[in-house]
Amino acid sequence: MSKRDCYEVLGVSKSASEKDIKKAYKKLAMKYHPDRNPDNPVAQENFREVKAAYEILNDPEKRQQYDDFGHGAFENGAARGRGGFGQGGFGHAGGDFNDIFGDMFNQRHQQQRYQPQPEKGSDIILKVELSLEDAVNGCAKDVRLPNTTDPISVTIPAGINHGQRVRIAGKGNPGTLGAERGDLLVEMTLLEHEFFTRKGNDLYCDLVTSFPVAAIGGTAKASTFTGYINLKIPAGTQVGRKFRIKGRGIKAMNSDLVGDLIYTVVIPTPTELTDQQHKLLAELAETMN
């Protein structure tokens, strides 16, 4: 009956650390210990199997021999050295022709298995600061790779957003064994704007107006990316009210979708008044009270 793989017995991977192996052994040994399973021959056999696997994997030299030759390294009570034929001669049961041939095959297989393979180079990530205007309209930016002086021109598409990247193929780190280079990823860092805030493809902006206009109605001058518009303010407009203008936001990158421009009403309180203004406001306050 063939023996189970030691790593499988302990439930660990072949790259498991010594700490992981000890932790797995302790857990399984407690589970299958004969004192806990006095009338369970299956559990007792599992305990012997776990103990044997641990004795091999917990010893660095034995673990290396096991990784190279499997259980055959310990057959007949003799451990093989790495690349050797075992301690017995050709006439010994552990050193017959089949075992020697199997060891040679396993060594050759291991060498082929771990032969280095060409790998594509890793990507390089560079961050670029971008104004809101450049993000909305698109632009070109020059970037430089680490330890280089020659600039690389990067075309930034209109509508790109914070955190999005532009990929430039073949400008990353070199590959191994002649494999292709990785890519350059240029990541956008969107700078704050003086008036506008971007949320997705929508633009938000404060709409400053006066108390009289908000109270009796009128128009207010509102900023856009292409200049100013006059926005109608209904009578009785409250602070915080929002006005949405469809399709005056940002056109999404690689899409026909366009966001909206959204204004939030702000009514500042004047800090300096002329005598006439003070008198008029006092009269207004009296009539309202």
User: What residue has token string 């696997």?
Assistant: 53
pLDDT at 283 over 50: yes
Helix axes 41-57, 18-32, angle to 10 degrees: 160
CA-based end-to-end distance of the chain: 101
118: in domain: no
Rounded (to 5) percent helix, strand, coil in the chain: 35, 25, 40
134: in domain: yes
Q: What is the structure's pLDDT at 68?
A: 86
| Same domain, residue pair 75 and 107 | yes
Q: What is the structure's pLDDT at 1?
A: 55
Per-residue pLDDT tens over the stretch 47-100: 999 999 999 999 999 999 988 888 888 876 545 444 443 444 333 333 444 454
- CATH number for position 57: 1.10.287.110
| Same domain, residue pair 147 and 170 | yes
Q: What is the structure's pLDDT at 21?
A: 93
More reliable by pLDDT, 45 or 86: 45
| Same domain, residue pair 202 and 185 | no
DSSP for 35-94? TT-TT-HHHHHHHHHHHHHHHHHTSHHHHHHHHHHGGGGGGGG-PPPTTS--SS-TTSGG
pLDDT at 4 over 90: no
Q: What is the structure's pLDDT at 87?
A: 40
Mean pLDDT computed over 223-242: 93
Per-residue pLDDT tens over the stretch 170-193: 999 999 988 999 999 999 999 999
Range of the domain at 58: 6-113
273: in domain: yes
Q: What is the structure's pLDDT at 41?
A: 87
Chain mean pLDDT for the chain: 86
Nearest residue to 152 via CA among 128, 135, 130 = 128
pLDDT at 256 over 70: yes
Portion of the chain with pLDDT greater than 70, in percent = 86
1: in domain: no
**Number of domain units in the chain:** 3
Confidence category of residue 232, pLDDT binned at 50, 70, 90: very high
183: in domain: yes
Confidence category of residue 2, pLDDT binned at 50, 70, 90: low
38: in domain: yes
Q: What is the structure's pLDDT at 35?
A: 87
